[in-house]
Structure 1
């Protein structure tokens, strides 16, 4: 009688398509179609960055695109060697570094504090009040800011003049705007980030805190030795995602709040995104503008991959990829 040989432990098991695979595929299909149609198909237009794009009279976009002359990397050379590139790079990077640090420290601190509240009603009220600004459009917020900073009838100048000071021409004083932009960005995004960290904190096993209390641990010691280590993976993930957007800026913040980047504030608040938008409205060719946008995308992709690689070497379980 022939006996079947036992399968080798090193021999990979044959994977079969199961009913669960079918259900998960159907669930993910709408999202896949959405990404293909709205994210991947439009990437065909990146070819404009390598062309000297010119509209052909009486012809459509595709005809004009294919019959435009190749420019190679001339569009990128124009952008990288322009007088404003260094300024845009400095502003975009520095603002984002400040945003990343503040949006890490303050939301985590607030999440820990709110989690310590005994009143559930008070906790929900604070969460709602801090989360509300996130849903407000920058267009609406810009009107509130203008009501405060209006040179003639703004609330800020009214208070300053009421205290015996001189009114400030806020939209002509670039030295104040780094603080204004940082404050507005923190105010608007603080609630969302706080809720993300608070959700991670609520998932921590409560018995750890009970054991710490029995050992006489203070609130600070509980946060230091239990809460922060437990939410470290979420902190690292948020950090990696924010680093991946370091070459991007919140267009609404820098364009709407500053009242469309006036000339007096250009050197202080201009970023890659405002430059691209202004270029589309100027005489700069669309190919050079597309090159600037592609430069942003490539730099962000490289940045997030490098950051994820470094994190994977330090703590492999916390890496995204």
Structure 2
């Protein structure tokens, strides 16, 4: 924590953290006075909101579907298959995505080949910034959907069996029980995951985004987030003070966001609040 003082100093490696001169809020002013600040802040919030909503929705749906599988082996196999992408390296994901969108060895990607089948024009995906928030969201759903579903499945195991038996006596089908019993009882778990996700909403997924987008400036208008911007700034300018200031800004805003989210959760459903 003592290293946070770098955010308020004109840091010099030779003088060290505590020997470097103070410069007040100049590091923060440098970031916010640049024309890039509004764009990357909006991108960070928008992309993280998309990732959070999509991964939670996919995880809930997958958990409900897996819960309906009766065979123990089939259920375990399904869990393993959908959980596996969580362990795939972002570099591998980037290679797979290039094969799907751009192809390898001069050939068109799988998506463009599919467009050819329907006589639709091919798209150079790596020059289309408007499509990438949705492409990255699909990647995050593929990567985190199975992981999130395991959390929901753990919550499903705590639902009393008597609730399902009562619903069956009332004539509810399995689909109706999943919709009217399982999903509503998972809302407290959903609320906790949302609160935790909101706390990280100012931290972009650096590993995935940078591995996929890299230094492709054409895609920066919609994919450049705070973390990738800080990395490029540190790599090209070497200004430790500014990067520390941005990191401190992310942490403080994340703390404020998660505090507000907890207060809202307490107001909506006090019993399921984490505080």
> TM-score if structure 2 supplies the norm length?
0.92
CA contact (8 A) 2:115 2:122 kept: yes
Decide which of 224, 228, 246 is 2:183's aligned counterpart. 228
CA contact (8 A) 1:92 1:249 kept: yes
Aligned counterparts of 1:81 and 1:225: Cα–Cα separation in 2: 51
Deviation at 1:227, TM superposition (A): 1.6
What's the Cα RMSD here? 1.8
Aligned counterparts of 1:147 and 1:223: Cα–Cα separation in 2: 37
SS in 2 for 1:291: helix
Q: Does 1:264 align with 2:222?
A: no
Render the CA deviation track for 1:181-228: whole Å, top value 9, x for unaligned: 111011100000011101111221112111210111223432344223
CA contact (8 A) 2:192 2:273 kept: yes
Aligned counterparts of 2:79 and 2:257: Cα–Cα separation in 1: 32
List gaps (5 residues or longer) in structure 2.
none
Distance 1:310 1:170, change over 3 A: same
Deviation at 1:128, TM superposition (A): 1.1
Greater gyration radius? 1
> TM-score if structure 1 supplies the norm length?
0.80
Alignment of 1:97-246 (within 5 A): 97-150=49-102, 152-153=106-107, 154-161=109-116, 164-246=119-201
CA contact (8 A) 2:56 2:145 kept: no
Deviation at 1:81, TM superposition (A): 2.0
Q: Kindly indicate whether structure 1 or structure 2 has the higher relative contact order, using CA contacts under 8 Å at least 6 residues apart.
A: 2
CA contact (8 A) 1:261 1:270 kept: no
CA contact (8 A) 2:62 2:146 kept: no
Q: Does 1:319 align with 2:273?
A: yes
Deviation at 1:284, TM superposition (A): 5.2
SS in 1 for 2:236: coil
1:53 aligns to what? 11
Aligned length: 272
Render the CA deviation track for 1:272-312: whole Å, top value 9, x for unaligned: 01001111111152101111111111111111011101211
1:96 aligns to what? 48
1:37 aligns to what? none
Deviation at 1:149, TM superposition (A): 2.3
